[in-house]
A and B are shown apart, each in its own frame.
Chain A
Amino acid sequence: KNQVEQSPQSLIILEGKNCTLQCNYTVSPFSNLRWYKQDTGRGPVSLTIMTFSENTKSNGRYTATLDADTKQSSLHITASQLSDSASYICVVGSYGQNFVFGPGTRLSVLP
């Protein structure tokens, strides 16, 4: 069964600290892996997209990694800010228009 799991379910960190969110998937065939940020009450916003041949991609303070062999990805946030408080969603694209969404990790950044 195509599935995307994320850990932890929720995370609380202090402003200025770094954190890493994890994503494991069993989606096949694999086309691409995406990370989205979803603020409360808003729609998801794309952070990074990686295809099979890419193993890292950055977007400002966000860096995503992909290990296609172990089917794992991580999102690293550097020097967190209060505005980073949001849900982070891992999405794996398969054939055609098939995208499998993870349940998200809820990040809270405290002052």
Chain B
Amino acid sequence: NAGVTQTPKFQVLKTGQSMTLQCAQDMNHNSMYWYRQDPGMGLRLIYYSASEGTTDKGEVPNGYNVSRLNKREFSLRLESAAPSQTSVYFCASSATGKGNQPQHFGDGTRLSIL
């Protein structure tokens, strides 16, 4: 009963380093999302993929890239990490992305940029 799996759970990077956050879902969902959660703020959408083969920018896409590798996997890449990207990153999926479909979240990747 895995649901949405994110790796790694924790990561520390130096400014300028790159890394890829991995996300996989086993619910055969079409839509997948990447959010960041900062203290005192609501989750903010970075990128989403409405279906396999498509990706679109969210509210805060600058400094990030994504790849929808297949229906199961949606990765988030930081090309040149900055301290402002220190955050908790959540991946989510939903069946269709329409109004009555809940989003299922992973348990997050806690990322610190020094």
Chain A residues with a Cβ under 8 A of chain B: 4, 31-32, 34, 41-46, 49, 51, 89, 91, 93, 96-104
Contact = CB atoms under 8 A, between A and B. Distances in A.
A46 B4 CA distance: 14
A45 B50 CA distance: 20
Given A42-B107, A89-B43, 18 more contacts: A4-B42, A31-B99, A41-B108, A43-B4, A43-B90, A43-B106, A44-B43, A44-B90, A44-B105, A46-B102, A49-B100, A49-B102, A97-B45, A98-B45, A99-B103, A101-B42, A102-B42, A104-B42
A51 B102 CA distance: 12
Contacts of B92: 43
Contacts of B100: 32, 49, 51
A43 B93 CA distance: 12
B61 interface: no
Contacts of A41: 107-108
Contacts, number: 55
Size bracket, chain B contacts: 20 to 34
- Of A44, A49, A99, A103, chain B has the most CB atoms within 10 Å of the CB of A99
B50 to A, nearest CB: 6
A86 B50 CA distance: 30
A39 to B, nearest CB: 9
A43 B50 contact: no
A93 to B, nearest CB: 6
A102 B40 CA distance: 9
B39 to A, nearest CB: 9
Nearest to B40: A103
B42 A45 contact: no
A43 B105 contact: yes
